[in-house]
């Protein structure tokens, strides 16, 4: 038992919200930090070497359900070897984009960077798209500089039908057709934190526009490419946060691209209290040549530390969707018979508590 | 790790039973107490305040399966703040009806109150219907008096089709259409324990009888209303237990009501051994005006404490179903071709062990 | 918390393999030992008696998923009483065949005995078919001799249609129609280990050949009968391992039988390093009177103990399938349009780490 440390987060809030016809009033999980329970350990192997493991389950505290059904450790599951050179590990692990945290809400689910990156399908995000199965990862820290590299083999190749042959003949996808790669660098020194991430996610099922501007399935692999740059600076009376990120071929849709920027600040108003404000926008490039669509998202929050481990909070997010978009923390429901759904505001006000153990 | 306590129950028994054509012979889970594994913790926040959390998984020890598939913590999952005023918590939590324990089997699954309340679909029960998702709960104890209040927002509204329009048009259920409320009071002092519970569970899908006495779907919300009163008194050489509870509009079926009463006693026969006997009846009011149906259930058990934490037991329950009813601990199977199924005895004899850790 | 010990294995490897058209390149879980997390405890009851429990989850560390979806404790879940007489326990437990470990890879997934017994559907195997639900088990150890007995009632009887009656009439399977029984004896003394196992697994759904040599469903229960004998001897500079096992009516298919033998050796090449080699064959008896088919499997591995708890390894297995067979560690994919699939080599090379905690 001394080999294992149990840790976790229990974060629940009372929420009030609306998105289209969906009125939300209830108790939800994880506005500040995803609820989780983890087991981890380190063994000293001598000669500066150590073995490490992490098994971390994500769950919804409002219903007691697994965050990903059937997944015991949906957040992280890996084993590795570490030393002065860094750590090499195998399993389900975070891509560098998970650590791309340069926003005033510290990557909280209720912050614009999380809302918009998740809604856009980006992998530079504090959400599930930054957790990569079947991966080998390297992390090393040297004098304030942290380097992260990951390769994910995934194993979910989609096989596609060959032409119009009868009976059906399938070509097997190449095992590398859904691989993913990522590299990240971060420098932290006193009040300053800056970093950059580059990631490629390959999709073995792809889509492209044909001559009549209809999406058709395309054989072969399409790369979703992403990069991001961010920085935070803490002046003491206020800290500033900003990031910019760009993605192309989202989810394997050729030339369906998006850019996301966000800025924010945190103002300490008492020993325990902080006011947070963040504003972000994502712009989707429409490959059909129509007008691009924007989604704006902003969050105002007050957090109050009841202890180092426990924080009470009230937070409000509005996500203002451009034409046809349905992003936001509250699931969208269209009006009955609406032929042009989307484009409405998603609002959420949450009052809750986050307890870290 | 010092922040987390692991606890649980492992309860398994060899069972022999019968219900209609179903012969049972095997190993089952949880005749005395549901098998579970939990993680809990308390943090002192100063000023008499504390943060608390509980994450409790239910499982079937006979097969290793989750009690509710896909639910990591099917029994309880909550985080809250406590103080001298009591505790306020958010998550998946027990309604007051879970603590309505005034029977000779201490709310064991094999006792009549559990068998009958569960089979009737009541929420004043030691079973799953007393675990409410998306809830806010308050518990406070003052000089032997414990007060419990809960509000569950649930999030499972059913949307219903509007009239006969084509294409289908759906009206969204009001977010409050499946809410649930509960309040409970209990007073315990020396040998005496008395208490009462009142609960309302709203169903967004409802049914009522039309003029031809057929059940038809009814739009709008129907309230299952329940109340119960119970008492226990321990004379030392024997303790007595009794309760009465009533429910209307069971599961949203208009005027489908039931009343349940049960009595029982526990006789200590040695330092470690106790004999338990309990008898209960539930009467279903038939809204169609036909004769009401009764189900009787009785349990005889011997429990032997091998230690404070470990109990060996042998217990027998018979549930004697009235016309058409299929309640009981053994699942009912009708005879092939039986046109009037139900109304048979469910018998179960269990020999097992309960270990608490 | 002092009542519960947490333990487990995190085993991951980078794998390269091929089987038919399936190219594997990725990260996988558990080549040496299945990844697991367990909770166990023992309580001293006095008089030489003790209560014990084990709850052990299996998971895939490469994806964080449960080994058996929806199963909290897919490996083991039981509670029992122990003493000088041995231990009697109830739950999901290992049949004696799980402990039938007389191979040079110590029952690792990448060893021939595991590959072949699992592929053939035998229950004398270190895989899932040796984990029996709803079981009562006895284990006792006396001066180097360990006896194991188990009875599993299972609860998965299949009901079958009676003749050609309309409407359909089903006969309920007898509760004993899918029971399983097992007994094992093992003697270990210094360098020597010998043992034997006998197991019967009843299938309530069975198949037999009709006059035209087509498989047809047969009502009634069919017994898969198995026995095995094995031995290991450690000479210090090398240890030898060998076993033979036989099974009839595999998976309830009448007269579909198989025999499996394997031999192997382990050579310590340094204080921490061992070279392992194992070779095995399974022969399937074809009840249709055609030529029997063979599958050969061999494994070469090097394991290096980084500590008592952590082992680095490289291992290679080839499984050479006879006509129409598809056994192996890499899932088989046929060539498009192949009318006689199977009969190809399954190759897997793994480089990984096993950490025990």
Check CB contact of B158 with chain A, cutoff 8 Å: no
Across the interface, which of C24, C61, C310 has its CB nearest the CB of A78? C61
Of A227, A229, A205, nearest to A218 (Cα)?
A205
Interface mutation target, options B31, B33, B37, B62, chain C, most CBs of C under 10 Å: B62
Residue A290 burial (CB count, 10 A):
9
- Chain C residue with CA closest to B12: the answer is C90
Give me the CATH number covering residue B326.
Answer: 2.40.160.10
**How far apart are the CA of A357 and the nearest CA of chain B, in angstroms?**
6
Q: What is the pLDDT of residue B173?
A: 65
CA dihedral B20, B25, B30, B32 (to 10 degrees): 80
For the residues A285-299, what does the mean pLDDT come to? Answer: 90
Percent of chain A at pLDDT exceeding 70:
93
Cβ distance B72 to A64 less than 8 Å, yes or no, reads yes
Residues of B in contact with A6 (CB under 8 A): 1, 3-4, 6, 39
**How far apart are the CA of C171 and the nearest CA of chain B, in angstroms?**
7
Cβ distance C74 to B59 less than 8 Å, yes or no, reads no
The B residues from 304 to 343 touching C (CB cutoff 8 Å) are 306-307, 309-310, 312, 333, 336-337
Check CB contact of C357 with chain A, cutoff 8 Å: yes
Q: Is C120 helix (H, G, I), strand (E, B) or coil?
A: helix
Check CB contact of C192 with chain A, cutoff 8 Å: no
Across the interface, which of A43, A90, A155 has its CB nearest the CB of C14? A90
Interface mutation target, options C59, C87, C91, C178, chain B, most CBs of B under 10 Å: C91
Check CB contact of A357 with chain B, cutoff 8 Å: yes
Cβ distance B90 to A4 less than 8 Å, yes or no, reads no
Residues of A in contact with B167 (CB under 8 A): 337
Rounded-to-integer distance, Cα C197 and Cα C100, Å: 7
Check CB contact of A37 with chain B, cutoff 8 Å: yes
Across the interface, which of A10, A14, A307 has its CB nearest the CB of B53? A10
Q: What is the pLDDT of residue B177?
A: 77
Check CB contact of A156 with chain C, cutoff 8 Å: no
ipTM for the predicted complex comes to: 0.94
pLDDT band at B237 (very low <50, low <70, confident <90, very high): very high
| Residue C291 near residue C284, CB atoms below 8 Å | no
**How far apart are the CA of A218 and the nearest CA of chain B, in angstroms?**
33
Rounded-to-integer distance, Cα A11 and Cα A23, Å: 22
Interface mutation target, options A3, A35, A63, chain B, most CBs of B under 10 Å: A63
Check CB contact of B33 with chain C, cutoff 8 Å: no
Q: What is the pLDDT of residue A122?
A: 97
Is pLDDT above 60 for A350? yes
Residues of C in contact with B25 (CB under 8 A): 153, 175-176
Rounded-to-integer distance, Cα B187 and Cα B351, Å: 34
| Residue A285 near residue A255, CB atoms below 8 Å | yes
Q: How far apart are the first and last CA of chain C?
A: 17
Q: Is C256 helix (H, G, I), strand (E, B) or coil?
A: coil
Q: What is the pLDDT of residue C162?
A: 55
Across the interface, which of A55, A136, A174 has its CB nearest the CB of C27? A136
Which has the minimum average pLDDT: B45-54, B160-169, C48-57?
B160-169
Is pLDDT above 70 for B159? no
Q: What is the pLDDT of residue A1?
A: 44
Cβ distance B64 to C91 less than 8 Å, yes or no, reads yes
Residues of B in contact with A4 (CB under 8 A): 1
| Residue B27 near residue B11, CB atoms below 8 Å | no
The C residues from 73 to 102 touching B (CB cutoff 8 Å) are 73-81, 90-92
Check CB contact of C37 with chain A, cutoff 8 Å: yes
Q: What is the pLDDT of residue B23?
A: 86
Q: What is the pLDDT of residue A164?
A: 59
Across the interface, which of C23, C69, C352 has its CB nearest the CB of A70? C69
| Residue C175 near residue C151, CB atoms below 8 Å | no
**How far apart are the CA of B251 and the nearest CA of chain C, in angstroms?**
27
Across the interface, which of B51, B90, B134 has its CB nearest the CB of A352? B90
Across the interface, which of C57, C65, C336 has its CB nearest the CB of A170? C336
For chain C, percent helix, then strand, then coil, each to nearest 5? 5, 60, 35
Residue A286 burial (CB count, 10 A):
14
For the residues B163-172, what does the mean pLDDT come to? Answer: 59
Q: What is the pLDDT of residue B183?
A: 98
- pLDDT below 50 — which residues of chain C? 1
β-bridge partners, C226: C199, C247
Cβ distance C12 to A78 less than 8 Å, yes or no, reads yes
Cβ distance C41 to B357 less than 8 Å, yes or no, reads yes
Check CB contact of C51 with chain B, cutoff 8 Å: yes
Percent of chain B at pLDDT exceeding 70:
93
pLDDT, tens digit, 9 for 90 and up, residues B129-148:
999 999 999 999 999 999 99
Rounded-to-integer distance, Cα A195 and Cα B146, Å: 54
Q: What is the pLDDT of residue B155?
A: 65
B255 versus A304: the higher-pLDDT residue is: A304
Across the interface, which of B4, B6, B354 has its CB nearest the CB of C39? B6
Is pLDDT above 50 for B1? no
**How far apart are the CA of B102 and the nearest CA of chain A, in angstroms?**
28
Q: What is the pLDDT of residue B339?
A: 85
pLDDT band at A281 (very low <50, low <70, confident <90, very high): very high
Please provide residue B155's backbone torsions phi and psi, each rounded to the nearest 5 degrees: -145, 40
- Chain C residue with CA closest to B28: the answer is C134
Largest CA distance in chain B: 72
For the residues A120-135, what does the mean pLDDT come to? Answer: 96
The CB-side HSE value for B3 (13 A sphere, CA atoms) comes to 19
Cβ distance C51 to B310 less than 8 Å, yes or no, reads yes
The B residues from 113 to 152 touching A (CB cutoff 8 Å) are 133-136
Which has the minimum average pLDDT: B154-158, B191-195, C23-27, C76-80?
B154-158
Interface mutation target, options B2, B51, B67, chain A, most CBs of A under 10 Å: B51
For the residues A103-120, what does the mean pLDDT come to? Answer: 97
pLDDT, tens digit, 9 for 90 and up, residues B298-346:
999 999 999 999 999 999 999 999 999 999 999 998 887 788 899 999 9
Cβ distance B79 to A336 less than 8 Å, yes or no, reads no
Q: Is C115 helix (H, G, I), strand (E, B) or coil?
A: helix
Check CB contact of C163 with chain B, cutoff 8 Å: no
Q: Encoding tokens for residue B186?
A: 């209990």
**Domain, as residue range, for B243:** 5-356
For the residues B56-81, what does the mean pLDDT come to? Answer: 95
Please provide residue B48's backbone torsions phi and psi, each rounded to the nearest 5 degrees: 80, 0
| Chains A, B: CB pairs < 8 Å | 135
For the residues B286-299, what does the mean pLDDT come to? Answer: 90
Domain count, chain A: 1
Q: What is the pLDDT of residue C1?
A: 44
Helix (H) or strand (E) holding B281: strand B273-285
Cβ distance A155 to C6 less than 8 Å, yes or no, reads no
Is pLDDT above 60 for B243? yes
Check CB contact of C153 with chain A, cutoff 8 Å: no
Alpha helices in chain A (DSSP H): 112-120
Neighbours of chain C (3+ CB pairs under 8 A): A, B
Rounded-to-integer distance, Cα C245 and Cα B183, Å: 63
Residues of A in contact with B172 (CB under 8 A): 21-23, 333
**How far apart are the CA of B63 and the nearest CA of chain C, in angstroms?**
5
Across the interface, which of A4, A12, A312 has its CB nearest the CB of B91? A12
For the residues B274-286, what does the mean pLDDT come to? Answer: 96
């Amino acid at each position: 038992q001394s080999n294992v440390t149990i840790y976790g987060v229990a974060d629940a809030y009372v929420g009030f919200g609306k998105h289209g016809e969906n009125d939300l009033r209830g108790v939800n999980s994880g506005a500040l930090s995803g609820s989780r329970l983890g087991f981890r350990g380190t063994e000293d192997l001598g000669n500066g070497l150590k073995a490490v493991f992490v098994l971390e389950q994500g769950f919804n505290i409002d219903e007691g359900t697994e965050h990903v059904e059937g997944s015991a450790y949906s957040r992280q599951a890996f084993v590795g070897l570490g030393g002065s050179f860094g750590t090499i590990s195998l399993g389900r692990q975070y891509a560098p984009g998970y650590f791309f945290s340069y926003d005033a809400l510290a990557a909280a689910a209720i912050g614009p960077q999380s809302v918009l990156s998740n809604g856009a399908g980006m992998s530079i995000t504090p959400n599930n798209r930054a957790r990569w199965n079947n991966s080998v990862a390297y992390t090393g820290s040297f004098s304030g500089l942290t380097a992260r590299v990951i390769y994910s083999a995934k194993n979910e190749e989609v096989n596609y039908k060959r032409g119009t042959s009868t009976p059906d003949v399938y070509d097997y996808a190449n095992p590398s057709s859904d691989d993913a790669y990522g590299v990240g660098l971060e420098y932290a020194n006193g009040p300053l934190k800056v970093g950059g991430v580059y990631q490629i996610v390959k999709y073995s099922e792809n889509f492209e526009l044909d001559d009549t501007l209809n999406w058709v399935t395309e054989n072969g692999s399409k790369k979703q490419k992403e990069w991001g740059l961010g920085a935070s600076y803490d002046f003491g009376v206020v800290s500033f946060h900003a990031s910019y990120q760009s993605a192309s071929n989202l989810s394997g849709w050729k030339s369906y691209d998006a850019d996301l920027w966000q800025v924010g600040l945190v103002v300490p108003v008492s020993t325990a209290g902080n006011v947070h404000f963040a504003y972000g926008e994502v712009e989707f490039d429409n490959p059909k040549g129509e007008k691009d669509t924007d989604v704006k998202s902003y969050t105002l929050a007050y957090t109050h530390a009841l202890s180092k481990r426990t924080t009470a909070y009230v937070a409000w997010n509005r996500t203002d969707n451009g034409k046809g978009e349905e992003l936001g923390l509250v699931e969208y429901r269209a009006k009955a018979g609406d032929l042009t759904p989307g484009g409405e505001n998603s609002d959420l006000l949450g009052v809750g508590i986050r307890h870290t153990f």
